[in-house]
Each structure stands twice: as structure tokens, then as C-alpha cells.
Amino acid sequence: MEWTVLPGLQPYPETLAAMEARVAAIARGEADEAVWLLEHPPLYTAGTSARAEDLTDPDRFPVFTAGRGGQYTYHGPGQRVAYVMLDLNQRGRDVRCFVHRLEDWVIRTLGEFNVTGERREGRVGVWVQRPEKAPYSGGLPREDKIAAIGVKLRRWVSFHGISINVEPDLAHFTGIVPCGIREHGVTSLVDLGLPVTMADLDVALRRQFDAVFGAATACGGGAVRASTHPTDAV
């Protein structure tokens, strides 16, 4: 497993091309699995289910077709993106299990900073409750999204991955309907009052990755989706 922290703000098209080349090399048995940790300049990406009406400010930032599952999402400074290139031929060809592991990874990582991340039925990603905000009209507590997940598989090697909001400009999310969900907001570790640095998060991500994706917790079972079909995770 190769871990790489890429410095500065990485241009999206070049990074995507490099990731696809690495995935192809892994599939051929010519390269090790890899996790790349990085930040992008402000941009929007469109997944395979993106709807034109959810891009509410198309001239604000560059918009790229991502090829992953899901809808529109934002990347920018202050958001840690982890591109995860794992060989599911060796880890079990179970896409649902793999996405579940990614969610576990994020939730366990957030837990190191005393943040309770949660899953929501029908809403891929990781959410936090906001009891300090006014509740919804039905009395349910407010909640915001703190991490997004979007993956694709090619020859059962994964690419794309997760993004966790550390300290991005949350106003940048207003140019899209993030992941097509209008009724909920977005948050970050700093927005929650936690002065977490990117380096702090990277240490936690590395530690929790080993706990979640170690051999003892590898996914098993058969395929649940076609190997070239992106998941609907955003």
C-alpha cells in the first residue's frame, strides 16, 4: 500500500488522468494499491447522475465530469480529498461492502476528534446532528453533511473516494445542490468548533484505514454490481 500526500492545490484533470493510469497499472499487477491525500482548487464535479438544475451557479467555478457515481459535489481548499485505489479482486468483490467500509473509515476518523458521524438511509455520505440549530418543522434535529463518498470500479479496482470538510469556504457549496439534497446543509470540522489541521486529519485517516481495511475486516461475498458500473455514492 502506497500513501502519498500531494502538496498544494492539485489540478483536477491531471489528477484524474494520473489516477486512472494508476488504476490501470494496479489492474495489470504492475503497481501497488494507493491512497492519495490532496486538495483541489475550487471546482464542481458532476457524477453520472448529475442533474442540470442542481448546478445553480454554473459560471462560479470550473465544472468537470468526474465519471464517478452520484451527482454534483464541490472540492476546494480546506477539504481533504482521499483518492482510494484498492484491488477488490483481493479484498472481495462486494461493492456495497466496500462503500460501507469507506463510511466506517470516515466515521471512525471523525470519532478521533469527538465528532459523531452517522449514516442516513437513502443519503450516502456521513452526517452530523446540529442540535444548536433550530429543528426542522417536524421537530427533528438539524443535520449537516461533513463528508462525501463517490467511487467507481474498473476491473474491480476502485478509484475516486472520499472528501472530508476540514475548513473549506462553506459558501462555495451554494453554487450547487450538493449531491442533489436540498433540505440539508453542509458543515466542517472547523465549523463545528474544532481547530483540526489537515495534518491532524491525515494521521487519523491513516490509523483508521488500517483498522477498517485490514485483512481481518476485508469484504467478502460475491459481486453485487457490474465491475464497470459506478456506485451511486456521492
Q: Is 185 exposed, middle or buried (0-12, 13-18, 19+ CB in 10 A)?
A: middle
Amino acid (1-letter code) at residue 202: D
163 is in an annotated binding site: yes
Degrees, nearest 5: CA angle 43-147-112: 135
Instruction: Report d(CA 183, CA 136) in Å as an integer.
Output: 10
Is 109 part of any known ligand binding site? Answer: no
| Contact of 187 with 130, CB cutoff 8 Å | yes
Q: Is 188 annotated as a binding residue?
A: no
Q: Tell me which of 179, 189, 201, 204 is the catalytic residue.
A: 179
Tell me whether residue 185 is annotated as binding.
Answer: no
Q: Is 97 a catalytic residue?
A: no
15 assigned ligand-binding residue:
no
Q: Report the distance separating Cα 110 and Cα 205, nearest Å.
A: 9
Give 197's DSSP letter.
-
Instruction: Tell whether 149 is in a known binding site.
Output: yes
- Residue 125 annotated as binding site: no
Q: Is 161 annotated as a binding residue?
A: yes
**CA-to-CA distance for 126 and 117, rounded, in angstroms?**
6
Annotated binding site for substrate: 68-75, 148-150, 161-163
Question: What residues are labeled active site?
Answer: 179
Annotated binding site: 68-75, 148-150, 161-163
